Amino acid sequence: MRRHVKNNVSWVGYMDWELETFHGDDYSVDNGSSQNAYLIEEGKTVLIDTVWTPHRKDFVENLKKEIDLNKIDFIVANHAECDHSGSLVELMKEIPNTPIYCTPLCIKSIEGQFGKQNWDVHTVKTGDSIDIGNGKKLIFVEMRMLHWPDSMATYMTGDNILFSNDAFGQHYAVAELFNDKADQAILWREAMKYFVNIIHPFAPLVTKKIAEIKSLNLPIDIIAPSHGAIWRDNPMQIVETYEKWANAYQENQVTVLYDTMWGGTEKIAHKIAEEIETQSPETVVKVFNIAKKDKNDLMTEVFKSKAIAVGSPTAINDILSTVTGFLAFMKSLKFKNKKAAAFGCYGWSGESVKILQEKLKDAGFALVEDNVKSLWNPTDEDFAKIPELVKNLLA
């Protein structure tokens, strides 16, 4: 169960092959995941994080097979969310007097979730450090709102490992543990999906935090996140990629997203896609029915896009509920530097395009006023509006 990471550092986490969703059912998981916990055995023996609550008994039993639990000098809790702190209660039943190092908000959150504990908690802040023997120490770096208020990273000198917790992670079970052993296409797809759906709302903080970590001039040989592959091959590649992703990222892609009742709005979506192809063959065009695709994957496509077109028919004086939910989630992710246009069919009252436009503006998109609003089914006259709409979306 123990996996070697570097020198006296081992992975002692849980490989969650069966995981299908995360954060309840809010995040789809296609390639398994892992909750990474780490054991450091230097002059001091240190456990960094635990695993998700359902796996707490396996975690403690497995850890017992690896080490006499009483040998653990202290525990670092980088983050209170239960996928990392969820085995602490079970573990502390065995070693109730073991000190725990974490941020003040971390213990507050842990006790909020699991009840008041009488643990020997030592709160830390950025720059605090602990000697772990053999000339090495742990330095703590608060990662406030990346992605919870209590989040923290821990840096180990000597081996130059940044235990980054959620930052730089992916929901991806990598049997071989390391980024150079992972399937590169899956690794990067999952890293982006994770960034978009979990980290992106805090993108301005990512930029600041990376600048702060860089200013500490700490050599980084390994970035060991709390989910997915450990970055040992060129670990700074994920840091540099985060810098890019956090800065109003876009690719030369336009995505058309819609839902439809009787096919009219779908026809407009297809025509818009065709027109983008015609006007700009080098632009990647993708079309998705919002109701039929995974919302986290769709958000990743929006993230890559420089512009989107969103369509819904009018239904009960509103847009379809699938599109309402999609737009609400999209707003929460706080995308920047993207254009948007609206389209849709109607039979009588016809509010959908206006509602879509308002919601797209509200979600931070630069609205292209051109739109297609079709009575019943789109006509040639309606389609004739598409070239100008596309021209302005691409401009």
Residues 155-194 that bind ligand FEO (CB under 6 A): 166
Binding residues for ligand FEO, total number by CB under 6 A: 9
Known catalytic residue at 227: yes
Phi and psi, residue 269, nearest 5°:
-55, -45
- Residues near 316 by beta carbon (within 8 Å), at least 6 away in sequence: none
Rounded distance between C-alpha atoms, residue 334 and residue 356, angstroms: 17
Neighbour tally for 353: CB within 10 Å: 24
Minimum distance from CB of 148 to ligand FEO (Å)? Answer: 6
Q: Which amino acid is at 231?
A: W
Q: Which amino acid is at 366?
A: A
Assess contact for 101 and 76: CB atoms under 8 A. yes
- Three-class secondary structure assignment of 280-294: CCCCEEEEEEHHHCC
Rounded distance between C-alpha atoms, residue 78 and residue 165, angstroms: 6
Tally of residues, the chain: 395
Minimum distance from CB of 83 to ligand FEO (Å)? Answer: 4
Among candidate residues 365, 245, 246, the one with its CA nearest the CA of residue 309:
365
Of 12 and 272, which CB lies nearer to ligand FEO in the complex structure? 12
Among candidate residues 254, 334, 251, 331, the one with its CA nearest the CA of residue 288:
254
Catalytic residue among 194, 242, 258, 346: 194
Residue 142 binds ligand FEO, judged by CB under 6 A: no
Minimum distance from CB of 150 to ligand FEO (Å)? Answer: 9
Residue 27 binds ligand FEO, judged by CB under 6 A: no
Of 44 and 227, which CB lies nearer to ligand FEO in the complex structure? 227
Known catalytic residue at 166: yes
Residue nearest to ligand FEO (CB): 81
Describe the crossing of helices 321-332 and 352-362 by its angle, rounded to 10 degrees.
10
Known catalytic residue at 147: yes
Minimum distance from CB of 23 to ligand FEO (Å)? Answer: 9
- Cα 275 from chain centroid (whole Å): 33
| Contact with ligand FEO (CB under 6 A) among 44, 56, 227, 373 | 227
Known catalytic residue at 84: no
| Contact with ligand FEO (CB under 6 A) among 148, 242, 303, 335 | 148
Known catalytic residue at 16: no
Q: Select the span of 42-50, 81-89, 278-286, 377-385 touching ligand FEO (CB under 6 A).
A: 81-89
Known catalytic residue at 81: yes
Residue 83 binds ligand FEO, judged by CB under 6 A: yes
- Residues near 210 by beta carbon (within 8 Å), at least 6 away in sequence: 239, 242, 243, 246
| Contact with ligand FEO (CB under 6 A) among 84, 171, 306, 338 | 84
Of 27 and 303, which CB lies nearer to ligand FEO in the complex structure? 27
Q: Which residues pair with 46 in a beta bridge?
A: 40, 74
Catalytic residue among 81, 142, 259, 382: 81
Known catalytic residue at 122: no
DSSP state letters, 337-394: S-EEEEEEEESSS--HHHHHHHHHHHTT-EEEEEEEEEESS--HHHHTTHHHHHHHHH
Catalytic residue among 41, 83, 190, 266: 83
- Residues near 228 by beta carbon (within 8 Å), at least 6 away in sequence: 33, 34, 36, 169, 170, 171, 172, 173, 174, 187, 190, 191, 194
Q: Select the span of 79-87, 212-220, 294-302, 363-371 touching ligand FEO (CB under 6 A).
A: 79-87
Q: Select the span of 80-88, 207-215, 259-267, 273-281 touching ligand FEO (CB under 6 A).
A: 80-88
| Contact with ligand FEO (CB under 6 A) among 41, 49, 81, 259 | 81
Catalytic residue among 55, 84, 147, 200: 147
Minimum distance from CB of 228 to ligand FEO (Å)? Answer: 10
Neighbour tally for 100: CB within 10 Å: 22
Which are the catalytic amino acids?
Answer: 23, 79, 81, 83, 147, 166, 194, 227
Contact set with ligand FEO (CB under 6 A): 79, 81, 83-84, 147-148, 166, 226-227
